[in-house]
Chain A
């Protein structure tokens, strides 16, 4: 059976699908991708349904090899160093791994999460209807855990595509220094107006204590007007909780179903991926938008994702020594 073999996996590389929906009421975390826009893009690039299973690659990096057959796949790895059989690929690309072929992903200077999707299906058993890995509760993916060297991912329903590697163009994934947009609430009434203004005006730094569950933020603490405990209620992806110490944290893909700290605001859906791609040490600001603006941004992103990324041929330029000499590069380089 055709399979992908994990030759090396850094910590935190997992199988994710669109998420384990429908069991929040039983305390079950949704999980799913950290960057939903990049995840949707990687599936669109190989013609998969948007909620199919893919491999999410952390800053730990990943090496894969195809076994017993060729595998066509897409890589959406903004900022990562991606190599196919040792040759550098664009960080957004489709490529065919022949049997025995290799692909490797290593973090570059920017970006925190990358995705690899197979033109086909990863044949693992769903748990509570989903392949999304939630390591804290040990559900989904491969035995509920992160991938490790030696793991074998069996593949079925493989669909051969263009054999030539191609560059993918997805400008909606480009890094941007724009503020992360939020909708205030649901417990913004637990903060005085000056504290909400401070939340929006201050620079925040992504803390090294961040993971798939939450991005902790460092900065000047916020003050609560009315206590820092609430009777637990539901939380959404991107909820910004402010615990007693006043430093906010943003709940991410592995968030728990409910939370007991006041939520000053929620990152809008269209900006969840851009936030997720920030690394520890990166600074950010928040900007409040209206519900209408949040829905409009969501619609605009959904429309671009429906179209999927454009494909471009990869042009490899080979510089011969004659060419370099003709440019007088070598002689100017010699003293």
Chain B
């Protein structure tokens, strides 16, 4: 295993770097350390942010000196594997039909696939929640099949509604808020990744598995109405 690197983002953020690539194995180590650090409730640690390949630890250096924090993290990291977080597998109802799939035809064309084949690959995929970032509830999903690898669009498109299902850069995502994006919009989720006042406000946790279940436009409209009434229509079960 590559040794950890400790990097400073100013005097109040320590970056614990496990590597510099997007890799599920690295990400699992990041998340294991994150769970251990949260459970340890170290005084002076404000919050930690798991990303693809590193854990950013925001801390108050007047309460915990960097050396003490580093020693504590090294100690936790050696024991991190023994406290796995209970993970869940989520199924999100999705519609890949007009008007929810603005870029489906163009993306399929660029990938030399039929739209139906693109959708079949996306529905068959098991996505892993690598990290949140960019906006509240915006989760980066790994596990996109290689056949669906597309770079971002040359120009970001105008903001689309929340819940857009998007692919780009070897990853997938579900937009949690309306946002301008260079990603390709291939469908729409009935479920919201982020909803204030709902419990939980943020649907999934880093490390969880996600898959999509295609529904027709009429079913989708009925599901959206239930979501608007405050219901959670995504299903989930403990990941074995």
Contact = CB atoms under 8 A, between A and B. Distances in A.
Given A25-B50, A256-B133, A258-B56, 13 more contacts: A21-B46, A25-B206, A27-B132, A137-B177, A186-B7, A231-B53, A232-B133, A234-B55, A236-B13, A239-B9, A258-B49, A258-B131, A266-B8
B56 A234 contact: yes
Interface string A19-34: 0011111111100000
Interface stretch (B98-106, B135-143, B209-217, B226-234): B135-143
B125 interface: no
Most buried by B among A183, A257, A263, A295: A257
B13 A266 contact: yes
A141 to B, nearest CB: 14
A77 to B, nearest CB: 27
B62 interface: yes
B176 interface: yes
A246 B21 CA distance: 23
A234 B9 contact: yes
Nearest to A266: B10
A27 B138 contact: yes
A24 B49 contact: yes
Nearest to A260: B133
A258 B132 CA distance: 9
Given A25-B47, A27-B176, A234-B15, A268 B10 contact: yes
A193 interface: no
A26 B10 contact: no
A236 B9 contact: yes
Interface in B192-240: 194, 196, 201-202, 206
B54 A26 contact: no
Interface of B: 7-13, 15, 17, 20-22, 34, 46-56, 58, 61-62, 65-66, 131-139, 176-177, 194, 196, 201-202, 206
A270 to B, nearest CB: 9
A26 B56 contact: no
B121 to A, nearest CB: 24
A28 B136 CA distance: 5
A238 interface: yes
B11 A295 contact: yes
B223 to A, nearest CB: 24
A314 interface: no
Interface string A224-244: 000000111111111100000
Most buried by B among A136, A187, A258: A258
Contact of B136 (A22, A139, A291, A294): A139
A127 interface: yes
A302 B55 CA distance: 27
Contacts of B7: 185-187
Contact of A137 (B46, B56, B135): B135
A164 B86 CA distance: 59
Contacts of B134: 27, 256-258
B209 to A, nearest CB: 18
Given A239-B9, A294-B10, A234 B54 contact: yes
Contacts of A257: 49, 132-134
Contacts of B176: 27
A294 B135 CA distance: 30
A233 B46 contact: no
A267 interface: yes
A24 B47 contact: yes
Nearest to B176: A27
A263 B62 contact: no
Most buried by B among A183, A231, A233, A302: A233
Contacts of B66: 291
A299 interface: yes
B8 A291 contact: yes
Contacts of A304: none
A137 B34 CA distance: 25
